[in-house]
Each structure stands twice: as structure tokens, then as C-alpha cells.
Structure 1
Amino acid sequence: MLSDVRILDLTRLLPGGLCTLVLADLGADVIKVEAPGGGDYARARAPHLPGGEATTSSASFRGLNRNKRSVVIDLKAEGGPDALLALARTADVVVESFRPGVLDRLGIGYDDLRAVNPGIVVCQISGWGQTGPLSQTAGHDVNYLAAMGLLSHTGRPDDPPALPATQVADSSAGLFAATSILAALHERRRSGRGQLIDVSIAHSALMLASMTAAGVLATGEARPTAEGVWSGGAVCYQLYRCKDGWLAFGALEEKFWANWCHGVERPDLLGRRYDPPHSHTHQEVTQIMASRTREEWRRFSAAHDSCLTVVSGLDEALDSQTVRDRGMVHHLPHPGTPDGYRALGLPVSFSRTPPDPARLPAPALGGDSERLLKECGVPAETTRRPRMAGEI
């Protein structure tokens, strides 16, 4: 679908990696521009898979970087910026995740890129955005969730905020970046002009709280965690312990609550789904949930449409029938790894042009440097020449 789109990916780790993974699986020619030495930090991240190049043995790296090619350019070397600009002449998109201003100081910022390619789309992914009081402040996922108010709505009432097990802000930024790039490319078909996209990881996370934020914007007040439905303020939307694990209950609508009440033979609880925690209703529901095993509740849920789900481990989820039936886990080949490896695919289905996660294996560090630089007329050695003292 995107086979006519070339993307230069200057990012590392998750937000940019996820963004370009989506576009690569949809057919784009994604070229990772990596620094000499270690390249993308994800290459060194455990666990490592047996076989293949050492620089592609990381499960995390393979999971984010299939269908991409790799070129090594030292952007601080004397010929590095010129090599990047030469590649940019052939590209449609550049994605970068440096702190604001870094590429400008290197002479390869947006103005430099569009000078050699007026149609270039440049997507900048940064923690707090390119402008604002925090733009130069370091941060990670937990910092963005804290600053944007999302952590304050995690955990049970009276408990400390809970750390999410996945990178919520980083992932949302990657997906917003991919969507924005596609929109900019679509607009370029009409105007013939590229543009600059500024994606803030923190504010991408905030957008995930759209419904909750709408209530705060309407009233001027944030409801305490103990009162918010999404954060445990009602008995119908809670986590409950069962005999051998945990259950997620999401019976917000009366019909689902009624199905549960009739299923456990407690019609006296009808109409009580929004009772608060620590109420008599909460105590009753807690006791009922604790009286059965996970498997018993699975069978109950299959028989009674009540939005009741067993809390699975990630290993259980990956091996579940619903994940298998949707084709979410792919067995992918990799050079030097006879048995290949397993990785997640995109959670989308197209009737005519399905994504192809097996088009290219995750690249060795700089594995495509010679070919790509030669195509652009750049001698490989000029990308590694040290700068003079005092240069950026």
C-alpha cells in the first residue's frame, strides 16, 4: 500500500520505532539511520534470541524493526550531515526523536531538509513537544503520565497510583505520529508541499483521556479517584479477587449488570451497579467473586453476557484462542535463525492488501549502508570522519 513511500527513521526505541513499524508493515521503505557503535539502543536490550547477527538478536529490536533497512551515519562526523541530506533528497518522510533543536544545530533541521526536498514531511517526536516550558526537559513514560494527570486515576481508591506495565504514552505517540504522517502525505498530493509535524509524547497520552478530560473541562473539577467510575468508584467497574486470581468487571450498562445478578442468583442487587466501594453492595459482590475459580468464572462469562473477564497473564493472552484466531502472532523467518521467531503483527485486517510482517528481516547494524550511500553518491568513509575540535 505504501510501497512508493520512503521514510528515514532517525529514532530509537519505542515511539518512533512503533510509528515506522506500522508504516513498514504497510509497505513503506523504511531506512533506519543509526549511529556507529551500537546503533538503536533496542539492539542491546534483553532478552536475546539465538542465532543470527549479534546486532539483531534482541527480541525487542526484532519486534519493532522488521521490514526496515539500516544505514550507519555519524551525524556528528564531518560528512555526516551531507550524507543525511543526500538520503533526504530521495525520501518522502523523516522521523526524528532528538531533543528540540539538536538537528538544527547539526545543520539538518527542517529548513535544511526542505531546502533539498521541498516535499519532505518531517515528523518530530519529543517528550513535551518542540515548544513550551518543558521542551528541553528529560522524561520517560511514567513522567508523561504523571504530568498529564493519568497516573492520578490509576490504582484502587486510597492506594498509591499504579505503574502501567506497558509504555502507554510512548505507544500512543507512535500511533499518533504514524496517523499524522499519512495525513500529511495525503495533503501533499493536493498541494505538492511537505510540512513539519510536532508530536508530543506527553500530550499524546493526555488525548487518551478524552472522555475523562471532557468531564473535567465541563465542570472545572476532577472527581476524586474514589468517585470516578473508570478508576474504581462503582461496584460494576472494578477488579475483584477470585479463588485463584483476579477478575475485571465492566458491567456499566444495566443489561450486563442484570445478567450478572441473575447469573449469580442475586436479583436483590439489581439497580445497585453504581454503588461506591466499601458499600454493602461492594462487600456482597466481593464475596461472590471470591467464591469461584478463574475457570469457573470463564464458564460463567461464556453463559452470561456480563462483561466479566479473567485477568490473564501476557503469556496466557499471547497463547489465547482470540489472539490466535485474529492472527496477531506471526512466526517470522530471520537469517541465521533456522526456526525463526515469533512476533506481534498489526491489529488490523485489510480485505485486499494485508500487511506483510515478513517482507524483510530486522536489519543488521549498517547492513544496507554501502548500497544506500552509493545510490546517493556518498562515499561511506565521509560519514565517519571526525569533526574538528569545537564543532557540534
Structure 2
Amino acid sequence: MGPLQGLRIIEIEGLGPAPFAGMMFADMGAEVISVTRKSAAEGSAPVNSISERGKKSIALNLKDPRAVEALLKLCETADALIEGFRPGVAERLGIGPDDCMARNPKLVYGRMTGWGQTGPMSQAAGHDINYISLSGALHGIGRAGDKPVPPLNLVGDFGGGGMFLAFGVVSAMLEAGRSGKGQVVDVSMVEGSAALMHMMYSYYNLGAFGWRDERGVNVLDTGAHFYEVYETQDGKYLSVGPIEPQFYQLLKELMGLDETVFGNQYDVERWPELKEQLQVLFKTRTRDAWCDLLEGTDACVAPVLSMSEAPKHPHNVARNSFVDVGGHVQPCPAPKFSRSEPATPKPAPLQGVDTDAVLAGLGYDADSLAALRADGVLT
């Protein structure tokens, strides 16, 4: 039983960060009901199936007032609702915060957008790459002298978006347990990704480690020779990151590095030269040969694994870091708990498969459901 067992979360179907937050809730044992617009008769599974694992799925035509009424009835039984519409869309559908919280004053209403609910950009379209541009995050990711490199959509959509939505909604649910009142949680991927940059802003503000507002020249952005990715003899890669002096010393000892050359770890002017020398050295052995020497020590070296390799690494196998869900290897629910350990997730449901069962729990009988389906209210 996961730690969120007994909570009911309504998720209005969307893409990216809101479904990811819903997956986090479902992974932790909450009952997550995803409201889709797809026809249940299509019998199709969602494309992003991992983010839909462990959820229930109901199909409602929210352009019909009777479907809206069904959703509002569902809100009466829920702890939270999450949605990722552009600001104002939920209100126009009749399922905005005021509508839903009128039915359930304790309801937490989580809103996920890129720019936030207010501000001059709030109505503009955008994607992860745009949001992390505005927060300062994208500017700092990339090689010196080259253009910024988007880090997949991890920083905006999922780190700065979905995880902050999950954290905000859980925080508001805890507060509602004390106050008896729900509230709106306004999550902006710009602000979430800016929060992820807190340490870099601290270093820059304080001048710590000589941090500059440039990319590829600082300790943590591949400026330093001791925090870098190096190619090996077989065309694979190692990550090297012994920041602390004692760990750097161990790396030098294990690799037999010349102390007169590599002794001054923070001689910034020599970093590019030292990187070149390390690259030549790392090319003399295969990735696995270097791992035999360095991996698992305090030298802070690890192989750069592909998505096909990662689930097979002995450490990940030992911790069950990946699980088989419906015949597909997926990352396991995280984090782990000492007592209320989440169960292995169930595969993503067919869209709309739970409509009748969920609505029957709200008091709709078989005849009512058949009539609503015949009228296209239940899609």
C-alpha cells in the first residue's frame, strides 16, 4: 500500500507534466481518475502509456452540460483535481476552481501551465524549451562557445512542472486537512525551472567558485576537467565528477595522474588543457575497463548508460530500479519507503474503460448510463 492510499485525484487528460504528476500520485497508491475525451468504444491505450499507469480512465464529452455535471459530482468525492489547460479554458467549460470547489470546499485544484495563470505571457502557447529559456536554465546548459542544448524536456515539463504540481497539490491537501478548506495551486514551469536553478543563482550572486553567467566555463557545466563526460576507446562514455579534494586525489591516484600537472584542481586557466589530456588518457581503454578500475569508488566515475543498458546495470537490478509493467520495462515508482511501499504499477488502462464503474459509484444506474451514452455525453 503506497503512502497516498485512500486519496482520490481527478486528472483532466492532457500531455506532459500534468499526467506525469498524476502518475506520481497513482504510483504512491492514490486512486487517480483520468478524464479523457476519447471514445471508450475505440478501445485504445494512451500513447504515453507509462504516465497513465495505475490510473482509471473515464470518457466524458465536457462540451455537454450533463458530462460537466457528472464531473462536478465526481469532484464531491475527490481530494484534488489537476488540469493543464490554457488559463480560462476550464472556466469556459464550467469546471473551473469556483465551479468545482462550490461542490467540495476542501477540494485542492491544481493548475499546470508553462507561464502561469497570470502575466503578459499567460495566454501564449509554448513548450518546455520556451519556459526554461525564460527562467535562465537553458542559457546555462551547453558547451563553452556553443549554443544552448535543450536537456530533453526534463527541466521544464517534468522537473519544473509535474514534480512541482505534485508537491504543491500534496502540500495543499495537507493544509486542507487542518483548515478544512481547499485552494488553487498555480504551477508555472518557468517558476519551477527557476527554482531548480537556485544553487546556480546562489553561486552567481555570491561569486562562489568564480561562477560566471556563461555556459561551459563553470564547475558544474563541463567547464572543469573534473566534472566532464569523456569518450572511451570503444566510442562509449564515462561521467567523471570528483568535485571534493579528497575524491579528486583518489582519481589522480587510481589513474596515475602526474601531480605536477594535475595537482592544482582549481587552476581555472588550465582546465581546457587538462580536459584534453584526460580525454587522450580515457581513449586508451574501453568504458568497461575504466569501470573495472574506477566505478564504485569515491573517485566519482560512472558509465554513461543508454536506455537499453540502464535497466541491466547491477546496481539498478539490485534495487529494482526498473520494473516490468505489462511486458514493458519501466522506471519503478520513486522514492522508496520503509513501510508503505507502493505496489508494482498496473498497465495503462484502455481509454474510457472505467466510465460505467466510476459513474455507478456516483449513483448513475444502468439505464441512465445507457441514455447518456446514446446521447454522446459519455464518449
Aligned counterparts, 1:66-81, within 5 A: 66-81=53-68
Paired letter, 1:120: L
Supply the distance in 2 between the matched residues of 1:303 and 1:25 (Cα, whole angstroms).
30
- 1:93 and 1:122 in contact (8 A); partners too: yes
2:25 corresponds to 1:23: yes
- 1:235 and 1:274 in contact (8 A); partners too: no
Aligned Cα RMSD in Å?
A: 2.5
From 211, 219, 224, the counterpart of 1:234: 224
2:262 corresponds to 1:275: no
Following TM superposition, by how much is the alpha carbon of 1:293 offset from its aligned partner in structure 2, in angstroms? 1.5
Paired letter, 1:237: Y
Following TM superposition, by how much is the alpha carbon of 1:87 offset from its aligned partner in structure 2, in angstroms? 1.0
Normalised by the length of structure 2, the TM-score is 0.88
From 188, 198, 201, the counterpart of 1:200: 188
- 1:77 and 1:383 in contact (8 A); partners too: no
Supply the distance in 2 between the matched residues of 1:289 and 1:72 (Cα, whole angstroms).
55
Following TM superposition, by how much is the alpha carbon of 1:217 offset from its aligned partner in structure 2, in angstroms? 4.0
Supply the distance in 2 between the matched residues of 1:104 and 1:183 (Cα, whole angstroms).
24
2:76 corresponds to 1:89: yes
2:98 corresponds to 1:111: yes
2:32 corresponds to 1:55: no
Aligned counterparts, 1:334-345, within 5 A: 340-345=327-332
Paired letter, 1:55: S
Paired letter, 2:177: R
From 254, 258, 262, the counterpart of 2:253: 262
Kindly tell me: are residues 254 and 384 of structure 1, through their superposed partners in 2, closer, same or farther at Cα, counting changes over 3 Å? farther
Paired letter, 2:169: I
- 2:40 and 2:59 in contact (8 A); partners too: no
In the alignment, which residue of structure 2 is the partner of 1:317? 310
Kindly tell me: are residues 386 and 331 of structure 1, through their superposed partners in 2, closer, same or farther at Cα, counting changes over 3 Å? closer
Paired letter, 2:260: D
2:171 corresponds to 1:183: yes
Q: Percent identity?
A: 32
- 1:257 and 1:270 in contact (8 A); partners too: no
Supply the distance in 2 between the matched residues of 1:279 and 1:187 (Cα, whole angstroms).
51
Paired letter, 1:366: G
In the alignment, which residue of structure 1 is the partner of 2:350? 364
Following TM superposition, by how much is the alpha carbon of 1:226 offset from its aligned partner in structure 2, in angstroms? 4.1
- 1:242 and 1:294 in contact (8 A); partners too: yes
- 5+ residue gaps, structure 2, are none
- 1:74 and 1:383 in contact (8 A); partners too: no
- 2:11 and 2:32 in contact (8 A); partners too: yes
In the alignment, which residue of structure 2 is the partner of 1:143? 130
Supply the distance in 1 between the matched residues of 2:43 and 2:68 (Cα, whole angstroms).
28
In the alignment, which residue of structure 1 is the partner of 2:155? 168
Kindly tell me: are residues 205 and 11 of structure 1, through their superposed partners in 2, closer, same or farther at Cα, counting changes over 3 Å? farther
Kindly tell me: are residues 343 and 233 of structure 1, through their superposed partners in 2, closer, same or farther at Cα, counting changes over 3 Å? closer
In the alignment, which residue of structure 2 is the partner of 1:8? 10
SS of 1:354's equivalent?
A: coil
In the alignment, which residue of structure 2 is the partner of 1:211? 199
- 5+ residue gaps, structure 1, are 40-52, 334-339, 388-392
Following TM superposition, by how much is the alpha carbon of 1:384 offset from its aligned partner in structure 2, in angstroms? 8.1
Kindly tell me: are residues 384 and 74 of structure 1, through their superposed partners in 2, closer, same or farther at Cα, counting changes over 3 Å? farther
Following TM superposition, by how much is the alpha carbon of 1:288 offset from its aligned partner in structure 2, in angstroms? 1.7
- 1:332 and 1:343 in contact (8 A); partners too: yes
From 319, 328, 353, the counterpart of 2:321: 328
Following TM superposition, by how much is the alpha carbon of 1:305 offset from its aligned partner in structure 2, in angstroms? 2.6
Supply the distance in 2 between the matched residues of 1:329 and 1:204 (Cα, whole angstroms).
27
Following TM superposition, by how much is the alpha carbon of 1:326 offset from its aligned partner in structure 2, in angstroms? 1.2
Supply the distance in 1 between the matched residues of 2:84 and 2:375 (Cα, whole angstroms).
24
Paired letter, 1:256: F
SS of 1:123's equivalent?
A: strand
SS of 1:199's equivalent?
A: strand
Following TM superposition, by how much is the alpha carbon of 1:67 offset from its aligned partner in structure 2, in angstroms? 1.6
Mean CA deviation greater in 255-264 or 119-128: 255-264
Supply the distance in 2 between the matched residues of 1:267 and 1:97 (Cα, whole angstroms).
55
SS of 2:57's equivalent?
A: strand
Supply the distance in 2 between the matched residues of 1:275 and 1:232 (Cα, whole angstroms).
15
Aligned counterparts, 1:289-328, within 5 A: 289-302=282-295, 305-328=298-321
Following TM superposition, by how much is the alpha carbon of 1:167 offset from its aligned partner in structure 2, in angstroms? 2.9
Question: How many matched pairs?
Answer: 365
Supply the distance in 1 between the matched residues of 2:295 and 2:355 (Cα, whole angstroms).
54
Following TM superposition, by how much is the alpha carbon of 1:166 offset from its aligned partner in structure 2, in angstroms? 4.6
